Structures are given as C-alpha cells and as structure tokens.
Structure 1
Amino acid sequence: MSTRRTAVTPEGIRFRDLDGDGVMAPYEDARLSAEERAADLLPRLSLEEKAGLLFHTILGVGEPGEHDVPAGFSPHTTRELVGERLVNHLNLHTLPSPRETARWVNAVQELAEQTPHGIPVTFSSDPRHSFTENSGISFAAGSLSQWPESLGLAAIGDPERVREFADVVRREYLALGLRAALHPQVDLATEPRWGRQAQTFGQDAATASAFVTAFLQGMQGERLGPDSVACTTKHFPGGGPQRDGEDPHFPYGREQVYPGGRFDEHLEPFRAAIAAGTSAMMPYYGLPVGLELDGQPVEEVAFSFNRRIITGLLRDELGYDGVVLTDWGLVTDAEVFGKPFPARAWGVEHLSPLERTALILDAGADQFGGETRTDLVLELVANGRVEEKRIDEAVRRLLLVKFSLGLFDDPYVDEDAAERVVGAAEFRAAGHRAQAEAVTVLAGTGLLPIAPGRRLYVEGVDPAVAAGYGEVVDDPADADLALVRLQAPFEPRDEYFLEAMFHQGSLDFPVEVVDRVTALAARLPVVLDVTLDRAAVLTPFDGTVAALTVSFGSSDAALLDALTGRIPPRGRLPFELPRSMDAVRASRPDVPSDTADPLYPYGYGLEIPETPQP
C-alpha cells in the first residue's frame, strides 16, 4: 500500500491523509459514519471534482504504472481520465491474470491518491462468471470460476443457489479490486426473440424478485460495507418487452411496447431490488411507446431522459434514493473499429450532446455510463442551465457508496490473495455442479442416463472430454449413439459496433442444420443438446431425436456429467419454448407464456436417475 499520504494525529491515530495537509479532516476519519464523511467532503470539492464523479466509463487494463497509454476500447489514458478529468468510476473489460489485475488496480489507486482530495477509484464489472463473450454485456469467466448464465440459475430454481453464487462472485471481485457490479439483470424474458435474455432470471416476475433479493444479499449483505460489492440492478423499469424482440442498443430496436398491459409485472423485480437495498439502478435504452401511467401518456423518450420514469416513478413513487446510473453511451455519437455506434438518445436524437446531458440530469439520473464529457457538465453549470445543487445531489449519493465500501480507508488489494482466491478449486467445483444441474431434459428419459462404456459419436462436443464418458468413434456407423450440441439459432448482423455479438432475429434453425441432425437420427439414436441464450424453435427435432435437452451455459464436461447421471440434471424451463415463429410473431412482447400451443411450457423439465459413482 502506498504511504505517500499516510499521517498520524497527535493522539496517535493513523489515517490516510488524502488532501495532504497533515490534519485528519472528518472525511478522512474512519470512525465517522459514511453520511458524516460525505457531508464533510462534498463542500470541499471543486466543481471539476464533482463533475468527475458523475462519469462512469470503460477502461482497459494495461501494464501497472503505464498511465499514459490507452488500453482496450478507450481512446483515453488512465492519467487523462483519473488524473486530469478526475473520473473515478471505471468499468473494466478484459482482464489479465488475477495477480496482474490486482497490481494494475493498485497502481491506479496510487494515481488517484494524487488528485486534490484523493478520491479512490471504484472499479466495476459487467457479469464475468459464465460463458457469454460480448463486450457490450458480459464476459466469459477466464480466470474466475465459471457458472451457468443467470437463465441456468433460474432453471435450477433455488434462491439459495443464487445466494451461494453471489457470495462467490463477491469474494472473487473483492480479491481483484472490483467493488461495483453492473448487474444483476432482472428484466423479464417475455419476448422470445430478444437478444439479452441469457443474463436474466427468465420470464417469471416472482422468480426474478426472489432471485434478485438472494443475489443482492450475497453481494452486498444487509447493508453496504467493506466486504460488499455494490450492485447496479438493471434495466429499470424492465427491458424485456421490445417490439419484434429487437435490441435498443441499435436504432431499429429502440421501441419498448406493452400491448398486454403488463408494465406493473415487469416492474416487480425492481420493487424487490429496492427493498433489498440495491446500491444503484440502471434504466434501459428503450423508448416507451403507447405507455400510460395513472391515466396519463408517458413521454416517448428513452428511459434515462424520461423524468416521469426516473423522478416520478423511481424516486417519488417507489421511494428510491440510491444512485441512478445510465446505460452506456447516451450522449456522444461514436465510431468504433470503423463501425458506427450512435448515441442511444432515442426520442431526443435531435438534441445536442449538451442538451442531452442536461435532460438526463433533469430526469433524475446521477451518473453518465460510458461517457467522459465532464466539460459538458461544467458548461451547463457555468451557463446556469443546471444548478450546482443538482450536481451536489448526485455527488452525495456517489460519495456515500464509496465511503460505505471503505474505499477511502483502504482501496488496495493483496496480489497473493487475488491469485489464491480467484478461480479457487471449491468455487470452480460449485460452478461446475450448477452448470450440470441447470441442464433441462425435455425428452428421452428412456435413453438417459447414458450408460457407461457406450460408443459415442460426437458433434459440437470436444472428443477428448467425451472420451472420459465412453468410447469415442469417428464414424456414426460404429457408434451406439450420437451426442450433438447446437447453439440456439440467430440472424448474423454486422452494421453497427457490437451488433455481431448480439443474437437477434428468427428462432428457426437453418434448413441445413435440421437436415444434418435428421439424417444422423435416421442412422442411430441422437442425444441433442441446444444451448439457449434465448428461446429456439425445436419443433423440427421433437420426436426425431432420441433425447432432447437444453442448457444455459454448461461446459462439455458438465453436460456429460448431467447426461450420464453423475450430477443429475434438475433444470426446468425458465421460459416457454414456442412451437413456431408464426406463434412468436403473434404473441405480445410484455406477456409471459403468450405463444399459442407452445412446444414446451414454462417450468417443464424431466428427471433422470442419479448414477451411483464408484
């Protein structure tokens, strides 16, 4: 730990002398409450320091101490952001090894000590404990323990398992210096085509409410403290009911609709999150179309610009006084890797970046996600468009979180502990078991569990892994059965930055995939597993393959443990599986279980017996 700004009072109390004056100011006194310390620090801050607190942006992890070289997606250096713009909320993307990450985090905290009041950095992360690799929403586990996607936890159906998972996430994040989670995501998966379902808890409001409560308990505890990770629950007031299932990251997906009148149902998990003490809320990009609240139409502008939603509903009606953090990139148009990425300023595209910034603050949000334009806030205050007391409101909330987390007292992490804790064997074992248990059996209990010693032909499965469960053969003619894994279908798109990473469009499998599996099934029994990051039309395979399962983030080894009964699968569908795309197109996006005559209903799943292990 750096000791550059450590001092001792005449009474012998050691403290972090963050302002460098040799005197323990109240905000430097760890004996005082977070509220007392925030109240003391706030009036000491310059407007530039306050503006820096209002921005939460992406930064890549570079070489420790290399503060003058941009890393990752950010065009900015660490020194420019932390040392000059005084931004101290940083969203980290791809991470190196745990030790390298911890060393870099500590170096950035040392840089933050050099700012006028030594405000520590809050490092945040999108989900990174599962299988999705999408720089816009989630990262594959890498060095961390790997678990099923949130849909898989919903399939298991046990709030205690969610609490256990959240506790592991908390411990691994703490070891890396990640003190804020840009999750959980509690949108309801009611539109089968929507591309962001994998990180949800499924279609059911009661399940999502119970699970968000368990997740927040595991991450934050009863209240924020030095052992907590502060959570941002998203996407208020519920991002599931997108018109035609398109995603509002992109201009064609901006409209959020409620033809079934289920707005309140989508709001339920957020009520639960508020009751459980979520540290922050993130509104979605979506623009509500045709929505009325209390008999009055809601302005058709995106939620973070929408005063009726943020101040009227979230603040006044639901009584929420925590941080409101916008989703990423609402102010500034960008081009990344040669592809356009327009600001998600839906409904206010005509406004300038300055006007958009003012409107977000007017709506009631506290912090700008993915932006670095501190100059716009300074200009708005200088010209009287925004009062400094409005900035102070937001700063107070943000400081309270930092003080509650203990960052002002010790923001540093132990490199040895990071290497020891992250990806610990017990965490990996628990994650593996959850992956297997989340597997959901839809048909074929006469064939499952797969008996030991069978000759296996595999497609989409690593033969080296399958060899641990039977004899792997290269020719289907030599096999007793075939094991095939498919990814749920989607329509590839690549016009906008990030678009290629999102799985959107039709849920129908390509004809050539169906024909290949059908031809194989005519030759020998096929066990087909489909990895679902959203629903899929499985009708062509139903009754054709000998056994049909779905999974929600499971390694080949976890899947085979489930199929052989070593770890009995216990999954139940977290959303219904439609019979056809016609049924999907005729359904209402805000209504769960709304496709006609579904192939498999919500909650469906069969059991297979456990195989005794030697």
Structure 2
Amino acid sequence: MTDASTALSASTTDLDAAPAASERPWLDASLPVAERVELLLAEMTLEEKAGLFFQTMITMGPDGELADADPVFGLPSNREYVLERRMNHFNLLGVAPTAGAIARWHNALQELAASTRLGIPVTISTDPRHSFTDNPGAAMLSGPFSQWPDTLGLAATRDAALVERFGDIARQEYTAVGIRVALHPQVDLATEPRWSRQLQTFGEDAEVSGELGAAYIRGFQNGASFGPGAVSAMVKHFPGGGPQQDGEDPHFEYGREQVYPGRKFELHLKPFEDAFAAGVRQVMPYYGMPVGTEYEEVGFGFNKSVLTGLLRERYGFDGVVCTDWGLVTDAEIMGQPFPARAWGVEHLSREERMVKIIDAGADQFGGEACPELLVALVEDGRIAEERVDASARRLLREKFELGLFEDPYVDADAADVIVGSPEFRAEGDAAQRAALTILANRDAVLPFATGVKLYVEGIDAETAAAYGTVVATPAEADLAVLRLQAPYEQRGNGFESFFHAGSLDFAPETVAHVAEVAAAVPTVVDVFLDRPAILGPIVEVAHAVVGNWGASSAALLDVLSGAAAAKGRLPFDLPRSMAAVEASRPDVPFDTEDPLFRFGHGLTL
C-alpha cells in the first residue's frame, strides 16, 4: 500500500463514492476535450470544484519525498493540501538539489492525487528558475537548471530567435521535472526607473517588449503545438504593472497606486496584445490600483472593468485568469505580518473580497488555500454554482490539453540528464555573454590582453586566474575589474528587503572607492542593472563601464578580453540624475530629461 493509500484509509467517504475505472468516461482520450470537461464536471462535488480555484506555494521534501507541514513558511503538509483541501494547483517554492529530486517529488504528489475520489492530476507551476535573481517574490535561483540572463538581459540581446530558444529549453527542463505552468513572462513596461520589478521585464519599449514576449511564449508553449509537451504560460501583470507612483511596488501598501499622468494607459496594453496574438493561455493581473483613469480604483484582481470589460470583452480572452498572490487573506511571510494586497477594498471581509474577485472575472486565487470559504459562499447563495462551473471548465480544460490525465508522471532519471545538460548550459552561457552591454570605453582599455596583472572585486580569484595574474592591490595591477550592484534603499527586513526601491544614486563612498582604484590603475566597472542606475559619477572616474543583467564572472571576462563579442544594447534609458527621474511621468517611456545613455546604446569592441 502506498503512503497515499495509507493516508486515505482513515476516511473512506471519498473512496466509497469514487467511480469505477470503467465509469470514468472523461479518461477517454478519443473524445473532444470540451466533452471530457463536461463529463468530469458533472461528476464533481462542490468541494472538488472549489479545490480547483486555489493555487498556492508548496514545498517538497529534501530529497524528493512529500513534505510535512512547513513552520518557516506556514504551509500545510502536501497531504493536507491534496487530500483534505482537495487542491491540485501548486507553485513550487525553493531550490532543489537535483532535477531528479524534483521529479521524484512530483511523481509522489501525482500518486497522491491519483488516490483521491476522481484522481484529478496536479498542475505544478513556478516563478522563473533560470536566472540570477534571488528575490523569492519574483524568481528562484537556477539550482540544477541552465542559467541565463534575467529577462532584461534577454531584451538586451534584441534577438527574438534567442528568446524563443530560451523558452524552448526552459520548456524542456520544466516538463522533465513535471512543471507545466510558467508564472511568466512579465511584459510590464519599465517606464518608472525606480520600480523594483524591472529585472523580469523586457524593458522600456513597447514594441520590443511585445515582440520578445511573444517569442518567449511560443518557446514555452511549444509554438503552435500546445499539448502534452508544452508549458502553459501566464503573462503578467495585466494591464501593465510599470507605472507605479514614485516607483514603489504594490506588494506593499505604500506602493498600491498606479498613476497615468501622461495618459499612456493604452500603451501599456501593447505587449499583452502581442501575447494574445501568440496564443498565451493564462493571464495574471497585478496588485496595483489605477488612479485617475476610467477604471474602478481598486486592485486589478478585484477590477471588473479591467478583467471583464477589458480582458474578457474587448480582447475576447477565454483562458485562465489567476490573481497575483494573497488578495484575500492576511499572512505571515518570513516571520513578519503581511496584510492581504486588497488595495481599494481593504475594508471588505475575506468573503466579500472573494465575491468581488469572482465577479470581476478571475478564475483562480493565487497564494490562497481556503476552498472552504468558496464552498460556503456558494452554499449561502452569494456566488452561483454556474459561475463556479464557468471557471472550473477553463481550469480543467488546461489539465486535459496538457495531457495530464493521460500521463501525469515524469522520468526522474531522464530529468537529471535533460535539466542543466551541457548543451543547455552552453547556450545559457552564450546568452549571458550576448547580453553584456559596454556603455563606456575611455582610452580603449577594452578589450584587455590576457596574461595581464588583474586586480578584481566581486570576481573569484580562481576564475580571474584564467585571464591573467591576480594581484592583491590596485597598485600592482595592469587592470582592475570591479563588479557592483545598482544602488537601492532598503525598505524593510525579511521579504520586503528583496525589493530594490528608492534612490538610484550610488553612495558617495562607493564612488570614492571606484575613483581611488581608478587613480591607481585603468579600471573597468561592471554594474548589475536590475534598475537603471545613475551612472554618471562612475563613468566620470572609471575607464570603462559595463551593464549586465545576470552574467557569470567568466562570461564577463570573456567579453572584456575580446574572447566573446560585445553585443548587448540597453533595454531602457539610463537617467542622468535623480532630479530627472523624479520629474518624469511614471507611465511614459523615455521621459527622463537628457539621459546619460539612450535605449539601444551599446559599444562594440
């Protein structure tokens, strides 16, 4: 007897009511998907339907076993989610040691789901897993997966074929471990230079964002062949999450307002239109609430004028709409209280928030795990079961079209071969090099000749030793290479600390240190531009300046030494001053006065 069977043996209610295998006509793959959905929906109880509506974080055991309750993140056990709450959509949290471990856990979870009354398979989703960022609210570190530049870096390549190839490789790696929904791409326009979520966008230009976002979607969804080999993409954050008041992020109350002083609301829809044309399957609205527009001033997940009027009716979108995480229930994250992001409707009860989200046109509650609340609302007549059925159809259709009812399991041994394969890692490394952007090269210090004496900061000595002799001080060196992070103001501790916001000016001591090194030796400064930093003071003292959006030290040194070509181009303007940033309109691209470097700037060596 499996662990799942053992767990169910104490309660036979579901098992006694389970249809025999011969009485499960929805498993007949020869039938049209729409008919299979109706056959299954007719068999489902209200509690089973409600379980479809909730997608939240889940953890796995250390080596691929099912996880018990997690006190750190406040999560119930895997068994409670599936057996008691009847949930079957989960966002995998954390980084696993191996792909095989993820695959084994996924198979154990599918076995658990198969033991339930109707055997509805689980759908696993994830935030991006192929880049360098460590923000758990935006992405996961790559772990066993191939490592690529963050999305801004993909945009810096200006190469739609490369972006589609990335999506195709990520699709193969995701499906190898059982991940079937990508909670991305993020096609918001980076029109507010201070906003903390720019790293996962395609930058400031609507045309580029639309073109590359569509290529990304095609790669994940297997082109026109959506089905058992595909990953369903969830484009976000509709109708565009970039125009944040003062650049603050709506994960937090002080960033809840989206403003449009330049009246550019429609421009922010352009990348989504391209995503719809590419056949994107799912949409996530953002937390923010529009201020001063024709739309209701409530968070987009509660906003019927946006989700029904704009998304469903104007664009005719009939795919899955899943809210961003945590609109209904107050929570605790990393030991700190974290109120629900119910912007504009903070005064409503949990039940009233849920009714408003459903009425707005959403199908699924992200980051929530309270199906009993939805059941009670239907039983009380506050939500019609027919409305529940409409969303359940969309959610079931996705499982059928992904082929999960035919074969939900994966090959754990094959996962370790496919994920992070030498071929995929080499292509990720090449993309890191292609994204690196040379912004300044005074006195032609680049490319440098290998074998020189190198002083490095932010680069491990072992890697640098392959390019020259590593020395301990700038005075001993022929060239210095310093790696910096774009500046930010820390807004708080815990989860909040991962969101880089506030001033884009480097601290005076950072500039002074660069100047001191540059006074002793020709100096190259490489900056991780997760936001468009004010680089003027650095450019004035350094001999060369480089922008990156996720690149290993080896990738950087290959480009600086000329072993790889410098190809990157800026995906946004780099402003000249904070005064220019503060005077710019958050919804208008390229609106900072007299930028230091323009969108598209990049030198060749």
TM (norm. structure 1) is: 0.94
- Where does the alignment leave 5 or more consecutive residues of structure 2 unmatched? 5-16
Q: Does residue 381 of structure 2 align to residue 384 of structure 1?
A: yes
CA contact (8 A) 1:58 1:73 kept: no
| Equivalent position of 2:28 in the other structure | 29
CA contact (8 A) 2:50 2:371 kept: yes
- The Cα of 1:509 is off from its aligned counterpart by 0.6
Higher fraction of helix: 2
Instruction: Specify whether residues 416 and 507 from structure 1 end up closer, same or farther in structure 2 by C-alpha distance, changes over 3 A only.
Output: same
| Equivalent position of 1:456 in the other structure | 454
Q: Quick one: distance in 2 between partners of 1:48 and 1:78?
A: 18
| Equivalent position of 2:76 in the other structure | 76
Q: Quick one: distance in 2 between partners of 1:113 and 1:223?
A: 27
Q: Quick one: distance in 1 between partners of 2:369 and 2:299?
A: 20
| Equivalent position of 1:548 in the other structure | 545
| Equivalent position of 1:440 in the other structure | 437
Q: Quick one: distance in 2 between partners of 1:478 and 1:196?
A: 40
Q: Does residue 240 of structure 2 align to residue 213 of structure 1?
A: no
| Equivalent position of 2:7 in the other structure | none
* 1:38-97 Cα shifts (integer Å, max 9, x gaps): 121111110000000000010111154545443762421111111111110010011321
Q: Quick one: distance in 2 between partners of 1:565 and 1:68?
A: 51
Instruction: Specify whether residues 594 and 20 from structure 1 end up closer, same or farther in structure 2 by C-alpha distance, changes over 3 A only.
Output: same
Q: What amino acid is the match of 1:162?
A: V
Segment drifting more, 180-189 vs 272-281: 272-281
1:302-381 correspondence to structure 2 within 5 Å: 302-381=299-378
Q: What amino acid is the match of 1:94?
A: G
CA contact (8 A) 1:59 1:72 kept: no
Q: Does residue 512 of structure 2 align to residue 510 of structure 1?
A: no
- The Cα of 1:340 is off from its aligned counterpart by 1.6
- The Cα of 1:100 is off from its aligned counterpart by 1.2
Segment drifting more, 472-481 vs 581-590: 472-481
- The Cα of 1:524 is off from its aligned counterpart by 1.3
* 1:186-223 Cα shifts (integer Å, max 9, x gaps): 00001000000011000111111111111111111214
Q: Quick one: distance in 1 between partners of 2:353 and 2:189?
A: 28
| Equivalent position of 1:233 in the other structure | 235
| Equivalent position of 2:117 in the other structure | 116
1:509-548 correspondence to structure 2 within 5 Å: 509-548=506-545
- The Cα of 1:392 is off from its aligned counterpart by 0.4
- 3-state secondary structure, aligned to 2:181: strand
- The Cα of 1:498 is off from its aligned counterpart by 1.4
Instruction: Specify whether residues 140 and 65 from structure 1 end up closer, same or farther in structure 2 by C-alpha distance, changes over 3 A only.
Output: closer
- The Cα of 1:272 is off from its aligned counterpart by 1.0
- The Cα of 1:170 is off from its aligned counterpart by 0.2
| Equivalent position of 2:158 in the other structure | 157
| Equivalent position of 1:279 in the other structure | 281
- 3-state secondary structure, aligned to 2:21: coil
Instruction: Specify whether residues 80 and 114 from structure 1 end up closer, same or farther in structure 2 by C-alpha distance, changes over 3 A only.
Output: same
- The Cα of 1:434 is off from its aligned counterpart by 0.6
| Equivalent position of 2:251 in the other structure | 249
- 3-state secondary structure, aligned to 1:232: strand
- 3-state secondary structure, aligned to 1:191: coil
* 1:92-127 Cα shifts (integer Å, max 9, x gaps): 011321111111110010000111110000000000
CA contact (8 A) 1:56 1:371 kept: yes
| Equivalent position of 1:301 in the other structure | 298
* 1:533-570 Cα shifts (integer Å, max 9, x gaps): 11100010123211111111001111111111111121
Instruction: Specify whether residues 29 and 390 from structure 1 end up closer, same or farther in structure 2 by C-alpha distance, changes over 3 A only.
Output: same
Q: Quick one: distance in 1 between partners of 2:498 and 2:475?
A: 37
Would you identify which runs of 4 or more consecutive aligned residues in structure 1 move more than 4 Å? 2-5
Instruction: Specify whether residues 75 and 594 from structure 1 end up closer, same or farther in structure 2 by C-alpha distance, changes over 3 A only.
Output: same
Q: Does residue 42 of structure 2 align to residue 50 of structure 1?
A: no
CA contact (8 A) 1:61 1:72 kept: no
Q: Quick one: distance in 2 between partners of 1:333 and 1:545?
A: 48
CA contact (8 A) 1:72 1:93 kept: no
CA contact (8 A) 2:334 2:495 kept: no
| Equivalent position of 1:13 in the other structure | none
- The Cα of 1:19 is off from its aligned counterpart by 5.0
Q: What amino acid is the match of 2:277?
A: A
CA contact (8 A) 1:521 1:545 kept: yes
CA contact (8 A) 2:95 2:141 kept: no
CA contact (8 A) 2:60 2:66 kept: no
CA contact (8 A) 1:454 1:471 kept: yes
- 3-state secondary structure, aligned to 1:90: strand
Q: Quick one: distance in 1 between partners of 2:117 and 2:404?
A: 16
| Equivalent position of 1:12 in the other structure | none
- The Cα of 1:24 is off from its aligned counterpart by 5.2
Q: Quick one: distance in 2 between partners of 1:146 and 1:72?
A: 28
Q: Quick one: distance in 2 between partners of 1:320 and 1:19?
A: 35
Q: Does residue 450 of structure 2 align to residue 466 of structure 1?
A: no
Equivalences, count: 589
- The Cα of 1:397 is off from its aligned counterpart by 0.2
Pairwise CA RMSD: 1.6
* 1:496-552 Cα shifts (integer Å, max 9, x gaps): x51011111100011110110011111111111111111100010123211111111
| Equivalent position of 2:194 in the other structure | 193
Segment drifting more, 304-313 vs 558-567: 558-567
* 1:388-438 Cα shifts (integer Å, max 9, x gaps): 000001000000100000001111010111110010000100001110111
Instruction: Specify whether residues 256 and 223 from structure 1 end up closer, same or farther in structure 2 by C-alpha distance, changes over 3 A only.
Output: farther
- 3-state secondary structure, aligned to 2:198: coil
1:590-609 correspondence to structure 2 within 5 Å: 590-608=587-605
Identity %: 56
| Equivalent position of 1:288 in the other structure | 290
Q: Does residue 423 of structure 2 align to residue 426 of structure 1?
A: yes
Instruction: Specify whether residues 67 and 574 from structure 1 end up closer, same or farther in structure 2 by C-alpha distance, changes over 3 A only.
Output: closer
| Equivalent position of 1:15 in the other structure | none
Q: Quick one: distance in 2 between partners of 1:137 and 1:74?
A: 19
- 3-state secondary structure, aligned to 2:506: coil
CA contact (8 A) 2:146 2:420 kept: yes
* 1:256-293 Cα shifts (integer Å, max 9, x gaps): 0111111111001111111111110000000100012x
Q: Quick one: distance in 2 between partners of 1:19 and 1:454?
A: 73
* 1:556-585 Cα shifts (integer Å, max 9, x gaps): 111111111111121110000000000000
- 3-state secondary structure, aligned to 2:240: coil
CA contact (8 A) 1:241 1:258 kept: yes
Q: Quick one: distance in 2 between partners of 1:249 and 1:322?
A: 25
- 3-state secondary structure, aligned to 2:324: strand
CA contact (8 A) 1:489 1:506 kept: yes
- The Cα of 1:599 is off from its aligned counterpart by 0.5
